[in-house]
Amino acid sequence: MICREEPPVHTNSPTAVVIDTQPLTFRQVVAVAREGARLELSDQAWQRVEAARAIVERIVESGERAYGINTGLGALCNVALHDDQLAQLSRNTLLSHACGVGAPLPAEQTRAIICAAVNNYAHGHSGIQRPVLQGLLDLLNNGITPCVPAQGSVGYLTHMAHVGIALLGVGDVTWRGQRMSAAQALADCGMTPVQLGAKDGLSLVNGTPCMTGLACLALADAWQLAEWADVIGAMSFEALGGQLNAFDEAVLALKPHPGMQQVGSNLRALLAGSQRLLSQQALRTQDALSIRSIPQIHGACRDQIAHAQAQINIELASVSDNPLLLGTPDNYRVMSQANPHGESVAMAADLLCIAVAELAGVAERRLDRLINPLVSGLPAFLVAQPGVNSGMMIAQYVAAALVGENRQLAQPAVVDNFVTSGLQEDHLSLGTSAALKLLKAVENSYRVLAIEYLLAGQAFEFLKAQSFGVGTEQAWRRLRQNVAPYDQDRWLAPDIETVFNLLKRSEPVWS
């Protein structure tokens, strides 16, 4: 198995992720969101949560003014509130902020957001009530997923507001494959709507869990995409008779970027023992850049994915709430600050988007060469009877369209700014927008690689008189376990989708 750069998640049990003294990693968020792992808090984590809540209660008792606890929000931060208004503010905050639009997020994306939010509160500086936090855990662990509209966030607020109203029994959720009212799902699971208190509403909508949770999913997918890109790129290199000198260890060592060294090592292992490549050596002085620069391009992308991973894991170790509660109930500080600003995650998501777009872009250049007999030495469009058969001609068009869309998606969201809340919030990260377009770019890139995999595998059909590399041979046979060779024109869309699902759901294992 090619190096993942970080080992898979190790949970406290096969079915549980427990937040204790350490924050979650991105892979643990993915385990909860995508794999259905149960999320729990240790006793020590609950103690942190309850200590912060005690500070909120002390503030309410004393009447000390603290933003969002006993004042209005945003531009209304100087409006003082009292008594029953504090709980009403929390409820009103959720209802007024739950104004997102568009199709609902997929369940795993909403679950990732909730998981990141729970992780944030478990640091013990938000002051949320234990029953409210337990309610979020119960949504996750019972498989109740609020219907959260995808659009409408400039960084935070709307997505978690739609999650929050589900705790009140308001809005719709999906449960056991059906969409129903939140009130009905809570009742069926034996849950009761939560009773909000001071600051609960603000804590539920504040911080960076939206962009961070979404970015965790995209990051996991980006690592797997990079792994498959090496395998499929090696197949295309072999089919095109690439010159192995470009991957020589001594040559690559002279440019010691970590990702580049990893890709070079992967390629040499994948192509080891290839008779096809031995027969092609010294036929050309050098190959086209899309062929000979796989270590440089894929490696640079891996380095950016690694940087984004560091930023996202740091964010999971951070407290992103406003105000923050520091100290103890007897000696505390309430700090209004800007930790909810998501600039670091937004930039990481934008960088990830560029990296996955580049992986797809160079893949499209390789697959274009595979279908072109002027440079491939193979039958035109990789079909035995070109003319009566169009072969893989239009599959390349599809890849080009996806790469074109990725170029648009790779434009950074973080620099496209707005002013909100009556000039109070006058610089926004657009981190959730960055994460959502990143997820789309990831899907596009997987489909481009699926097309390259199909085409490289088809090229192997014309070259199988010679043996292939130990890894590329295995990758070709794995493809053939899922998709038959292409002897004459047939409906190609199902083949592309089959290979797309293969890439998304499994790692490229080879020996």
The string of pLDDT tens digits covering residues 106-149 is 999 999 999 999 999 999 999 999 999 999 999 999 999 999 99
Amino acid at 332: Y
Q: How far is CA 20 from the centre of its chain?
A: 24
pLDDT > 70? residue 300: yes
Per-residue confidence band for 10, with pLDDT thresholds at 50, 70 and 90: very low
Report how far residue 184's alpha carbon sits from residue 200's, in angstroms, rounded to the nearest whole number: 23
Per-residue confidence band for 241, with pLDDT thresholds at 50, 70 and 90: very high
Residues 438 and 353: beta-carbon distance below 8 Å: yes
In which element (H, E) is residue 296 found? helix 294-316
**What is residue 471's predicted lDDT score, i.e. its pLDDT?**
97
Look at the block and give the residue holding tokens 């990725």. Answer: 406
Per-residue confidence band for 165, with pLDDT thresholds at 50, 70 and 90: very high
Look at the block and give the residue holding tokens 């590399």. Answer: 469
The string of pLDDT tens digits covering residues 278-289 is 999 988 889 999
Residues 299 and 319: beta-carbon distance below 8 Å: no
**Token reading at 245:** 């000198």
pLDDT > 50? residue 9: no
Report how far residue 25's alpha carbon sits from residue 12's, in angstroms, rounded to the nearest whole number: 13
Q: Is 385 exposed, middle or buried (0-12, 13-18, 19+ CB in 10 A)?
A: exposed
DSSP for 221-281, written as a single string: HHHHHHHHHHHHHHHHHHHTT--GGGG-HHHHTTS--HHHHHHHHHHHHHHTT-HHHHHHT
More confident residue, 383 or 455: 455
Residues 268 and 249: beta-carbon distance below 8 Å: yes
More confident residue, 406 or 390: 406
pLDDT > 90? residue 487: no
Per-residue confidence band for 426, with pLDDT thresholds at 50, 70 and 90: low
Fill in the DSSP letter of residue 254: T
Report how far residue 3's alpha carbon sits from residue 9's, in angstroms, rounded to the nearest whole number: 15
Look at the block and give the residue holding tokens 């849950």. Answer: 191
Report how far residue 205's alpha carbon sits from residue 159's, in angstroms, rounded to the nearest whole number: 8
Report how far residue 103's alpha carbon sits from residue 179's, in angstroms, rounded to the nearest whole number: 13
Amino acid at 402: L
Look at the block and give the residue holding tokens 């006058």. Answer: 426
* All residues at 6 or more sequence positions from 33 whose CB lies less than 8 Å from its CB, including other chains: 108, 109, 111, 112, 115, 213, 216, 217
Domains of the chain are 23-206 (1.10.275.10), 215-505 (1.20.200.10)
Residues 324 and 339: beta-carbon distance below 8 Å: yes
Report how far residue 112's alpha carbon sits from residue 36's, in angstroms, rounded to the nearest whole number: 11
**What is residue 86's predicted lDDT score, i.e. its pLDDT?**
84
**What is residue 104's predicted lDDT score, i.e. its pLDDT?**
96
